[in-house]
Amino acid sequence: MQLQLPSPIQELHSPLLRKAKVRLSVKRDDQIHPWLGGNKWRKLKYNLQAAKQQEHTSLLTFGGAYSNHLYATAGAGDLFGFRSIGIIRGEEYLPLNPTLAFCRERGMQLHYMNRSDYREKTSEAIIQQLKEQFGEFYLIPEGGSNALAVQGVAEAVDEISVPEYDYLAVACGSGGTLAGLATGLNRRQQLLGFPVLKGGSFLKNEADALSMAHNGKRYQNVQLFTGYHQGGYAKTTAELLSFIRDFYQQHHILLDPIYTGKLFFGLFDLIGKGHFKAGTHILAFHTGGQQGIAGWEERTGQTLI
């Protein structure tokens, strides 16, 4: 199995960027491997190593029915020889949506959990119940964010010549990726986070807690732009969708409406408003997520591209 690492970096060119005299490059983590997502692979890497070291043969994790993390965990389980168990929020719908159909093809055992138990999924009682049902397993949290995930994401920063960039930019869900990228910054640089859910300012604390767990440090030069969630998690606007279509036409890079679409929409909005001074070079992380597009189209009855 071939992983494309370090992931490639691609510079974008457009009239808007020329006019603003801003350079924008994209770290194509989405190209690491078709089964492993982008940042989700980085978050899994050291967890898989720990699981092997602890002689676990099974991985168990949690997610919604369209989760990029479940998808990547199923892919990684298959590629690296683990049994995988996916605990899915809510009840079963048949036929399986494209995300869960992939998970099942990769050998993941799918188990549905009602929403009230799901809220308690980290409790002793629920974990015990899962152990009785499935035997011993290595537990990966929902979204894959823990201290080992931060260590894996930090490697993305090792792959780039950091002084070249004034800003790194990334879409945020749980804050694990933000924390990992923050560990690689120098003092002059800023990390820009674009929360994809409403009320995303809590993410600074989440990222701090994760980076503290990883290396005992907290980072100052992180800035969150909380106004680009488009109504909330997995919510979209016509403006966002038309941005994603134009972006694909211009740059031949596919963005998803849940995460990376909101990141680039926000970045281009800021660039257009003159937020960055001339000569600025930004590196935006394409964290993957394209697997979710088929499910999004099915759910909404819309076509993205």
Ligand X SMILES: *Cc1c(COP(=O)(O)O)cnc(C)c1O
Q: Give yes or no for residue 175 binding ligand X (CB under 6 A).
A: yes
User: Would you count residue 171 as binding ligand X (CB under 6 A)?
Assistant: yes
Does position 266 interact with ligand X (CB under 6 A)? The reply is no
For ligand X, give the closer residue by CB, 20 or 59: 59
Q: Strands 23-28, 109-113: parallel, antiparallel or unpaired by DSSP?
A: unpaired
Choice between 23 and 262, CB closer to ligand X: 262
The residue from 63, 77, 86, 173 that contacts ligand X (CB under 6 A) is 173
**Bridge partners (DSSP) listed for residue 111:** 87
289 near ligand X, rule: CB under 6 A: yes
In residues, how long is the chain? 305
d(CA 266, CA 193): 10
Is residue 40 part of the contact set for ligand X (CB under 6 A)? yes
- Could you tell me which stretch among 33-41, 78-86, 114-122, 214-222 binds ligand X (CB under 6 A)? 33-41
Where do we find the tokens 């995303």?
200
Q: Which stretch binds ligand X (CB under 6 A): 76-84, 158-166, 172-180, 264-272?
A: 172-180
Q: Is 55 exposed, middle or buried (0-12, 13-18, 19+ CB in 10 A)?
A: exposed
Could you give the CA distance from residue 92 to residue 70 in angstroms, rounded to a whole number?
Answer: 15
260 in contact with ligand X (CB under 6 A): yes
Which of 23-26's residues contact partners 24+ apart within 8 Å by CB, and which partners?
23/280, 23/281, 23/282, 24/267, 24/271, 24/281, 24/282, 24/284, 25/165, 25/281, 25/282, 25/283, 25/284, 26/253, 26/283, 26/284, 26/285, 26/286
Instruction: List the one residue from 174, 226, 230, 236 that touches ligand X (CB under 6 A).
Output: 174
Regarding 97 and contact with ligand X (CB under 6 A), the answer is: no
Smallest separation, CB 143 to ligand X (Å)? 5
Omega of the bond leading into 141 within 30 degrees of 0 (cis): no
Q: Which residue in the set 35, 259, 276, 296 belongs to the binding site for ligand X (CB under 6 A)? A: 259
Residue 94 is which amino acid?
Answer: L
Q: Is 172 in the site for ligand X (CB under 6 A)?
A: yes
Closest distance of CB 66 from ligand X, Å: 10
| The one segment of 132-140, 167-175, 243-251, 267-275 that binds ligand X by CB under 6 A | 167-175
Name residues contacting ligand X, limited to 44-73 (CB under 6 A): 68
Tell me the one-letter amino acid at 77.
Answer: G
Residues that bind ligand X (CB under 6 A): 37-40, 68, 143, 145, 171-178, 259-260, 287-289
